């Protein structure tokens, strides 16, 4: 199925192929994260600037993955480069706090109504793991409830419902994303042992799936009525509004986990919550909760993060949202013009496209032959870098000229998709 797309991809990337063969000898699995891996091998990049990436073979790509949406102002964003450069002229990791950490925490708290205090971590995975830990500590209950396909980082309890797993007895329950009744039933049934409901506001793993109207609001209300905390994983969707997805959807969770781009490209995470819950971290308090981490809230991440978020204002968010809508329109036009069956989704500044096939279960990543993999390789061979699962995220650096170039490359990718699949792709009813 992938013949033409794969052939052109391999012709353009011989050095990436050589380096990935070398990597498999020393790096477990060839990569240190599953995101971005696909057959026959992922591109090995050597650098980037703005919306562009350049690989070791000299090919350039308009980036729409942005390292799993963790770089929102594009690559080597000058204000962040200056902030990091200035910080590296000094020491940036020491015991105790820093002026930069305090300023960053004050800014985040001011941007998130009801979230009075911040606890920094080194990643979104750590932030979500810590949020679960503090929820269990606060409620003295063991269970969490999450959406079956919701992704919340690398932590066993939060991987329930992913990678072929179901619920984890005594630790984690799962329900279908968007099914309010299923969540309500489990909340009522397990209210005496349920510490928290963990919600990703928009599913990204395997596609961009916005929540049904009222789902997030109703689940938060049901949890509150049952005395169960709600944890909002806003690592990805903090981009929806200046106050994140809680402001966008009009909800008030008990805890918010942040990560991805909040550190301006430096590994950073944060748990945000009201003082009544966050006081558990107070050393010497009546019921203290220990949390360590040598680089939590370090100066590099605080300075880069504060710069990043100050430049992610309402105007920048609105511009990205409009550009994403334009991109989804381009998808729809190409699909309609060619008679292709595809699912086009999106919300805010993130678009998604997938090519469902009868009997084929979509994978988190492209480990086997599929139309989704074919399109991914066709995009790469045409100079576009989509995200795993078919997501296309905008960055603040896009302008009209770059959008026009994206359209030209997108047409080439769809041409290559058809060359690779022939009649197989024409599944429109």
pLDDT band with cut points at 50, 70 and 90 for residue 401? very high
Domain boundaries defined on the chain: 3-72+313-425, 78-311
Note the pLDDT of residue 256: 98
Mean pLDDT, rounded, for 299-320: 98
- pLDDT at residue 164 in the model: 86
Helical packing angle, 400-421 and 371-381, nearest 10°? 130
Query: Which one has a higher pLDDT value, 392 or 92?
Result: 392
Query: Which of residues 37 and 425 earns the better pLDDT score?
Result: 37
In this prediction, residue 358 has a pLDDT band, given cuts at 50, 70 and 90, of confident
pLDDT reported for residue 429: 33
pLDDT attached to residue 374: 94
- Confidence check: pLDDT of 411 > 60: yes
Distance CA 201, CA 209 (A): 9
Confidence at residue 428, expressed as pLDDT on a 0 to 100 scale: 39
pLDDT at 339: 92
- Bridge partners, residue 49, by sequence: 52
**Alpha helices (runs of H) in 140-232, residue ranges in sequence order:** 180-189, 215-225
Residue 9 pLDDT greater than 60, yes or no: yes
The three-state secondary structure class of 230 is strand
Question: Does residue 78 register a pLDDT over 60?
Answer: yes
| Strand (E) or helix (H) holding 16 | helix 14-26
Q: For 165-178, what is each residue's pLDDT tens digit?
A: 999 999 999 999 99
Indicate if the pLDDT at residue 312 is higher than 90.
yes
Decide if pLDDT at 375 tops 80: yes
Tokens of 189: 């049934």
Statement: residue 94 has pLDDT above 80: yes
The tokens describing 74, both together, are: 């594009």
Among residues 380, 316, 345, which one has the least CA distance to residue 74? 316
For residue 362, what pLDDT band results from cuts at 50, 70 and 90? low
- Of 186-200, 202-216, 390-404, give the lowest mean pLDDT range: 202-216
Total residues belonging to the chain: 429
Multiple choice CATH, 78-311, 3.90.45.10, 3.20.20.70, 3.40.640.10, 3.40.50.300: 3.40.640.10
Q: What integer pLDDT is reported at residue 50 of this predicted model?
A: 98
- Assess contact for 377 and 9: CB atoms under 8 A: yes
Percent of the chain at pLDDT exceeding 90: 87
What mean pLDDT is reported for the chain?
94
- Report pLDDT for 425: 56
> Residue 75: pLDDT band by 50, 70, 90 thresholds?
very high
pLDDT value for 150? 94
Instruction: Look at the domain 3-72+313-425 and name its fold.
Output: 3.90.1150
* 3-class secondary structure, 153: coil
CA angle 181, 187, 189 (to 5 degrees): 100
Q: What is the pLDDT of residues 230-287, one digit of tens each?
A: 999 999 999 999 999 999 999 999 999 999 999 999 999 999 999 999 999 999 888 8
- Output the six-digit token pair for 215: 């789902």
Please state whether beta strands 172-175 and 143-147 pair in parallel, antiparallel, or not at all (unpaired).
parallel
Percent of the chain with pLDDT over 70: 96
Is residue 206's pLDDT more than 80?
A: no
pLDDT at 42: 96
């Amino acid at each position: 199925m992938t013949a033409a797309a794969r052939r052109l991809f391999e012709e353009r990337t011989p050095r990436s192929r050589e380096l990935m063969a070398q990597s498999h000898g020393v790096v477990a699995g060839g990569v240190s994260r599953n995101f971005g891996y696909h057959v026959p091998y992922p591109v090995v990049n050597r650098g980037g600037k703005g919306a562009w990436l350049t690989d070791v073979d000299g090919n350039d790509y308009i980036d729409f993955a942005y390292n799993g949406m963790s770089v929102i102002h594009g690559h080597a964003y000058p204000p962040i480069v200056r902030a990091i450069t200035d910080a590296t002229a000094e020491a940036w990791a020491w015991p105790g706090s820093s002026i930069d950490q305090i300023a960053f925490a004050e800014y985040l708290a001011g941007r998130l109504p009801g979230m009075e205090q911040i606890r920094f971590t080194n990643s979104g995975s750590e932030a979500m793991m810590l949020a679960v830990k503090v929820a269990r500590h606060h409620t003295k209950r063991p269970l969490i409830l999450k959406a079956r396909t919701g992704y919340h980082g690398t932590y066993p309890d939060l991987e329930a419902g992913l990678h072929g797993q179901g619920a984890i007895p005594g630790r984690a329950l799962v329900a279908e994303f968007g099914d309010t009744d299923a969540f309500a039933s489990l909340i009522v049934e397990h209210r005496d042992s349920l510490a928290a409901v963990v919600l990703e506001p928009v599913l990204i793993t395997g596609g961009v799936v916005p929540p049904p109207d009222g789902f997030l609001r109703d689940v938060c209300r049901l949890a509150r009525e049952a005395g169960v905390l709600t944890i909002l994983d806003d690592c990805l969707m903090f981009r929806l509004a200046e106050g994140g997805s809680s402001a966008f959807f009009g909800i008030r969770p008990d805890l918010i986990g942040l990560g991805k781009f909040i550190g301006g490209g430096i590994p950073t995470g944060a748990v945000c919550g009201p003082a009544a819950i966050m006081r558990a971290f107070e050393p010497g308090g009546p019921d203290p909760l220990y949390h360590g981490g040598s680089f939590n809230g370090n100066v590099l991440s605080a300075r880069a993060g504060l710069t990043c978020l100050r430049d992610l204002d309402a105007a920048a968010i609105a511009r990205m949202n409009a550009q994403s809508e334009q991109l989804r329109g381009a998808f729809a036009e190409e699909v309609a013009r060619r008679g292709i069956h595809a699912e086009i989704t999106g919300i805010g500044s993130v678009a998604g496209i997938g090519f469902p096939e009868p009997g084929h279960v979509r994978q988190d990543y492209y480990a086997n032959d599929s139309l989704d993999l074919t399109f991914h390789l066709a995009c790469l061979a045409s100079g576009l870098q989509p995200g795993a699962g078919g997501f296309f995220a905008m960055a603040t650096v896009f302008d009209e000229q770059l959008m026009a170039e994206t359209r030209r490359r997108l047409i080439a990718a769809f041409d290559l998709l058809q060359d690779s699949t022939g009649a197989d792709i024409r599944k429109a009813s």
